[in-house]
Amino acid sequence: MDDWTPIEGSVLNTITVDATDKAIKKKMKELDIEEEFHDPSLDIKLESWSLNTFGKRSETVLSCPSCFSVITYNSIPQEKSFLSKKTINTSFSKTVGTSENDINFLINCKICMAELGVYDPSLKNYHLLYCLPGYG
């Protein structure tokens, strides 16, 4: 509770502040402050850099079923697996194949070493069989 009592004869002055865009810009100019908020041209540059660096992103994110670490942000769903050109948090363990011409590498999660699928070096594709799909 406020226990302030004004002294007799004192006058309370009201102060009004003009908060319109024009007044704010005028005050910023007086104080020599530049507007540093949003640059739409920078958004376009960053988006093109992201596309060039990471490629087009799909909505499906694949994760390791054991430790839930992200395996890939860009995959194509197939009948029984997912196909991807790039992966992260993965390593190759051993080669598997039925003949000398058909050599594939097992893909393991770098974090927990869970088996995730196979890598086909002839097509440069990751066939991810044991991953959890999600949406990014």
Cα–Cα distance for residue pair 116/56, rounded to 1 Å: 23
Q: Percent of the chain having pLDDT more than 70? A: 79
Of the listed ranges 24-28, 68-72, 85-89, the least confidently predicted one is 24-28
- Both structure tokens of 109: 């999660």
DSSP string across 66-107: TT--EEES--EE-SSSEEES--SSEEEEEEE-SSSS--EEEE
Cα–Cα distance for residue pair 96/102, rounded to 1 Å: 8
**Residue ranges, CATH 2.170.150.20, the chain:** 60-135
Per-residue pLDDT tens digits for 33-51: 666 666 777 888 888 887 7
Instruction: Identify the band that residue 5 occupies on the pLDDT scale cut at 50, 70 and 90.
Output: confident
User: What's the confidence (pLDDT) of residue 75?
Assistant: 84
User: What's the confidence (pLDDT) of residue 98?
Assistant: 67
Nearest to 62 by CA among 91, 83, 34: 83
Fold of 60-135: 2.170.150
DSSP 56: -
